[in-house]
């Protein structure tokens, strides 16, 4: 039997329906069914069915509704508190309703069905992901007015704070939408957002192949201008044979680094105490980070330990200078060994590059290996100098960078197409961002960098998409 167009709630269970029919047979219909001005039944499907089976008339109440949304909201108000629906039934009801009326606000629909707005938001997110409904910039509230899905809010308690709030609210980042901030927190977040925008602008100017240099030589023979390096990031061999060279490394780091510059070094654990002792000869201890990975660990034969992490020792030249807040732990899902047996995951290396340097800084890797640090610097807009004593490693590093350059050009070409093809969509910018995230695997910050590398015509097209979304 075909489901009536306005029967959006699940059918009664057989026992529940039998009880309803018996009650009508004994006492008649207590509550008339409701129909709209066009004769469509909105409420009372089971009462009508029971009356038909009993051969009696079902009383009706005719109501006029201005919109389809009003009809659907009435159906929920009339039934959700009366019906005992379980969690899965409520989620299915939310899904069915959103397909009919996707622009209703989460809190409005939640109050009608008797669930939280977060439950509605979860179902909405799923439907958007599978392209069952569009993603709307504005949703319809209980009063019928359309409002942005999330606001940025600042609470001001004095006239001076009110003036400040008006000045900075436009500088708050997108992740502040839906949050209520005090003025002090809002100022801090606005300041950080402006700083990040400056960094992104610098990123676009620093993607120059001349800023990435690889050499085939021992690090002891690397010629670098004194006090010019901001960060030395490397992964040394973990065997005892290399340990004496750590003293040379510390000595050169003290010469190369700017005052307050950092050395961050992956280290094995067996010889960890000797490595630290030698670094202490020329540099100042700062901190120890942790690099960990999920999945299969490495078996350390000497201790019969399955190891899933390694220390990252952090030293500074001179007193430790205050950094912005940083995280001392990096956890990645997989290991990467495509370019070198001792290769570190790119995601992990990018984490440390982001923590300890900013765009335009000079980063040095004296033990290049797979030259993952070079690729991270290329992506993040840092200058880079690296070397390795193995010519094969250097050649592979050059090949890897060539592939990274080709990948960049390919992504730029695809980004142009995505922007051109999105003009007809309801939310074109959101469509481009979602496509970028799924196809490139890069984050929103990298998207902003690529956007600035586009030709003038496509940058203008992107700006016009923003006006369409608004």
Q: What is the pLDDT of residues 160-190, one digit of tens each?
A: 888 888 888 888 887 777 678 898 988 988 8
Token code pair at residue 36: 């709209």
Residue 140 near residue 108, CB atoms below 8 Å: yes
Confidence at residue 199, expressed as pLDDT on a 0 to 100 scale: 54
By three-state DSSP, how is residue 430 classified?
helix
Confidence at residue 369, expressed as pLDDT on a 0 to 100 scale: 87
Cα 184 to Cα 371: distance, rounded to the nearest angstrom: 42
Confidence at residue 206, expressed as pLDDT on a 0 to 100 scale: 42
Per the prediction, the chain carries an average pLDDT of 83
Q: Judge whether residue 101 has pLDDT over 50.
A: yes
Q: Provide DSSP, 200-268.
A: HHHHHHH--GGGEEEEES-GGG----TT-EEEEEEE---STTTTTHHHHHHHHHHHHEEEEEEEEEE--
Token code pair at residue 384: 């880079």
Q: Judge whether residue 325 has pLDDT over 90.
A: no
Q: Judge whether residue 200 has pLDDT over 60.
A: no
Alpha helices in 80-170 (DSSP H): 87-100, 106-113, 117-129, 159-168
Q: For 324-335, what is the mean pLDDT?
A: 82
- Please return the burial class of 406, using the count of CB atoms within 10 Å of its CB with bins 0-12, 13-18 and 19+: exposed
Q: Judge whether residue 384 has pLDDT over 80.
A: yes
Confidence at residue 1, expressed as pLDDT on a 0 to 100 scale: 43
Q: Judge whether residue 202 has pLDDT over 70.
A: no
Token code pair at residue 358: 């900013």
**Which residues lie closer than 8 Å to 122 by C-beta, 6 or more apart?**
none
pLDDT above 70 covers what percent of the chain? 93
pTM (predicted TM-score): 0.55
Q: Judge whether residue 147 has pLDDT over 70.
A: no
Q: For 147-154, what is the mean pLDDT?
A: 71
> What CATH number does domain 210-389 carry, 3.40.470.10, 3.40.50.300, 3.40.50.670, 3.40.50.150?
3.40.50.150
Confidence at residue 2, expressed as pLDDT on a 0 to 100 scale: 46
Q: For 48-63, what is the mean pLDDT?
A: 88
Q: What are the pLDDT digits (tens) for 58-71?
A: 888 888 888 887 88
Structure-model confidence comparison of residues 469 and 178, the more confident one:
178
Confidence at residue 227, expressed as pLDDT on a 0 to 100 scale: 92
**Which residues lie closer than 8 Å to 335 by C-beta, 6 or more apart?**
293, 295, 296, 345
Q: Which residue's structure tokens are 């220390």?
A: 311
Confidence at residue 228, expressed as pLDDT on a 0 to 100 scale: 92
Cα 341 to Cα 320: distance, rounded to the nearest angstrom: 33
Within 10 A of 351 (CB to CB), how many other CB atoms are there?
21
By three-state DSSP, how is residue 420 classified?
helix
Cα 130 to Cα 167: distance, rounded to the nearest angstrom: 39
229 forms beta bridges with 257
Q: What are the pLDDT digits (tens) for 337-354?
A: 777 777 788 888 999 998
Confidence at residue 444, expressed as pLDDT on a 0 to 100 scale: 74
Q: Judge whether residue 208 has pLDDT over 50.
A: no
């Amino acid at each position: 039997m075909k489901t009536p167009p306005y029967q959006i709630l699940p059918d009664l269970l057989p026992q529940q329906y039998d009880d309803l029919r018996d009650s009508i047979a004994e006492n008649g219909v207590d509550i008339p069914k409701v129909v709209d001005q066009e004769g469509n039944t909105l409420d009372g499907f089971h009462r009508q069915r029971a009356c038909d089976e009993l051969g009696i008339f079902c009383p009706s109440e005719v109501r006029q509704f201005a919109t389809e949304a009003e009809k659907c909201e009435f159906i929920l108000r009339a039934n959700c508190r009366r019906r005992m629906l379980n969690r899965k039934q409520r989620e299915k009801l939310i899904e069915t309703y959103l397909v009919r009326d996707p622009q209703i606000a989460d809190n409005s629909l939640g109050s009608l069905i008797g669930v939280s707005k977060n439950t509605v938001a979860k179902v909405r997110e799923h439907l958007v992901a599978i392209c069952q409904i569009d993603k709307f910039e504005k949703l319809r509230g209980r009063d019928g007015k359309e409002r942005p899905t999330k606001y940025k809010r600042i609470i001001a308690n004095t006239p001076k704070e009110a003036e400040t709030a008006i000045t900075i609210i436009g500088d708050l980042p997108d992740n502040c939408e839906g949050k209520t901030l005090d003025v002090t927190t809002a100022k801090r977040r606005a300041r950080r957002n402006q700083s990040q925008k400056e960094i992104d602008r610098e990123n676009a100017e620093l993607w120059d192949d001349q800023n990435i240099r690889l050499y085939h030589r021992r690090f002891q023979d690397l010629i670098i201008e004194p006090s010019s390096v901001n960060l030395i990031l490397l992964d040394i061999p973990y065997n005892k044979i290399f340990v004496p060279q750590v003293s040379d490394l510390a000595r050169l780091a003290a010469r190369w680094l700017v005052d307050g510059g950092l050395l961050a070094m992956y280290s094995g654990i067996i010889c960890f105490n000797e490595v630290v002792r030698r670094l202490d000869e020329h540099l100042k201890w700062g901190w120890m980070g942790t690099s960990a990975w999920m999945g299969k660990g490495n078996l350390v034969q000497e201790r019969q330990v399955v190891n899933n992490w390694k220390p990252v020792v952090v030293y500074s030249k001179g007193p430790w200078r205050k950094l912005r807040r940083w995280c001392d732990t990096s956890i990645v899902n997989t290991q990467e060994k495509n370019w070198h047996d001792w290769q570190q995951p790119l995601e992990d290396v990018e984490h440390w590059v982001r923590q300890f340097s900013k765009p335009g800084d000079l980063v040095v890797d004296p033990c290049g290996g797979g030259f993952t640090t070079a690729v991270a610097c290329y992506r993040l807009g840092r200058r880079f100098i690296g070397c390795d004593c193995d010519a094969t490693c250097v050649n592979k590093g050059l090949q890897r960078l060539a592939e990274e350059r080709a990948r960049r050009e390919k992504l730029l070409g695809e980004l142009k197409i995505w922007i051109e093809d999105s003009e007809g969509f309801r939310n074109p910018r959101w469509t481009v961002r979602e496509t970028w995230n799924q196809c490139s695997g890069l984050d929103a910050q990298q998207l902003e960098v690529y956007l600035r590398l586009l030709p003038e015509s496509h940058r203008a097209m992107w700006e016009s998409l923003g006006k369409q979304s608004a």
